[in-house]
Amino acid sequence: MATNLNSRLTLNNGVQMPIFGLGVWQADNASAENAVYAALKHGYKMVDTAKQYGNETGVGRGIARALADGLIKRSDLFVTSKVANQDHGYAQTIAKFDGTLARLQLDYLDLYLIHWPVDGMYVETWRALEDLYAAGKVRAIGVSNFDVHRLQVLLRQGKIVPAINQVEFNPQMQEREMQDFAREHGIQLEGWSPLGHGSAMSDPTIGAIAQAHGKTAAQVILRFDVQSNVITIPKTVHENRLVENADIWDFELTDAEMAAIRGLDKNERSLWYPAFGWYGTDTDFGMATQKWPDSPVNYDE
């Protein structure tokens, strides 16, 4: 059972990954820098970013400041980034990886993910990740937003079983089929949008459980995510919210409360998700991000 921000799960290659960290999707570089620095100051050990977020530079600056100020040691920090859609393919993935390291001001990544499974290319991209892993440039490799079918393809054609599949996970989207498949194959689930874009926080079931524990609805949901054994990365750029999100270690949901929250599952993805052609070879992520507020598209800054 996770007991604090130092709690870690062991991945299928033996690497230990924090069960809780900071996500920075939709943060510009300045906001990402400040959020990362504040998170590390308050004891966070993990930061999740992606080239497609356009804020690797800001994340790198926040990490560099925290390391320089002695807030954390590199060996205690776990940093994730992801292959951008426009970088798919073996040669392109290898060529662009060094740019991610440079923007993050790091010598290696702890986890590198395929951000979206672009059909016709993701197997080749996975081969590149396997070679980056073999070269010691990343400590673990995985995928994001893969469904069962595409994971099965990787398991058949790849050499390494992904350590992680990062998918949407919250009370209203609990990925039951993926949970079962991942458990069967030793793949750890990591959840983005753990608060369900806020919609679950107004549910009366969540509200009643929060009142019973003297916690906020957000804290109850994040506790549910962690107790579901899903690595959790709530995103925020506000320091007070960082502190609140991480204040989930002094209570535990009962079996009945966990069951009640599991009963909220609608198997419904985010509103934007179905409209995004995530499996297409012609997906233009830059155009997609323009629909989201404050989403930078200067990926290579």
Given a contact cutoff of 8 angstroms between Cβ atoms, the answer to whether 283 and 85 are in contact is yes
Q: How many helices (H) and strands (E) does the chain have?
A: 11, 10
What is the per-residue pLDDT across 3-25, written as a single tens digit (0 to 9) for each? 899 999 999 999 999 999 999 99
CB-based contacts of 270: which residues, under 8 Å, 6+ apart?
A: 168, 173, 193, 197
In a domain, 297, yes or no: no
**Active site residue ranges:** 53
Identify the domain containing residue 156 by its residue range.
Answer: 16-288
Other Cβ atoms within 10 Å of 149 Cβ, number: 9
3-state SS of 38-59? HHHHCCCCEEECCHHHCCHHHH
CB-based contacts of 48: which residues, under 8 Å, 6+ apart?
A: 21, 22, 23, 24, 80, 166, 192, 233
CB-based contacts of 44: which residues, under 8 Å, 6+ apart?
A: 5, 20, 21, 22, 242, 246
Handedness of CA 290, 101, 188, 232 (dihedral sign): negative
In a domain, 41, yes or no: yes
Rounded to 5 degrees, what are φ and ψ at 4?
Answer: -165, -175
In a domain, 9, yes or no: no
For residues 57-77, give the mean pLDDT: 98
The pLDDT of residue 267:
83
CA–CA distance, 185 with 181 (Å, rounded to integer): 6
Rounded to 5 degrees, what are φ and ψ at 167?
Answer: -135, 165
In a domain, 219, yes or no: yes
Question: 101: domain CATH number?
Answer: 3.20.20.100
What is the per-residue pLDDT across 206-234, written as a single tens digit (0 to 9) for each? 999 999 999 999 999 999 999 999 999 99
Q: Indicate whether 271 pLDDT > 70.
A: no
**Of 288 and 59, the one with more pLDDT:** 59
CB-based contacts of 293: which residues, under 8 Å, 6+ apart?
A: 26
Half-sphere exposure of 247 (CA within 13 A, CB side): 13
For residues 263-291, give the mean pLDDT: 58
In a domain, 4, yes or no: no
In a domain, 11, yes or no: no
Q: What is residue 251's DSSP assignment?
A: -
In a domain, 204, yes or no: yes
Domain count, the chain: 1
CB-based contacts of 230: which residues, under 8 Å, 6+ apart?
A: 169, 189, 190, 191, 194
Containing 246, the helix (H) or strand (E) segment is: helix 239-246
In a domain, 3, yes or no: no
Given a contact cutoff of 8 angstroms between Cβ atoms, the answer to whether 125 and 93 are in contact is yes
What is the per-residue pLDDT across 120-178, written as a single tens digit (0 to 9) for each? 899 999 999 999 999 999 999 999 999 999 999 999 999 999 999 999 999 999 999 99
In which band, very low, low, confident or very high, does the pLDDT at 292 lie, cut at 50, 70 and 90?
very low
Which ranges in 105-200 belong to alpha helices (H)?
122-134, 148-157, 176-185
CA–CA distance, 259 with 267 (Å, rounded to integer): 16
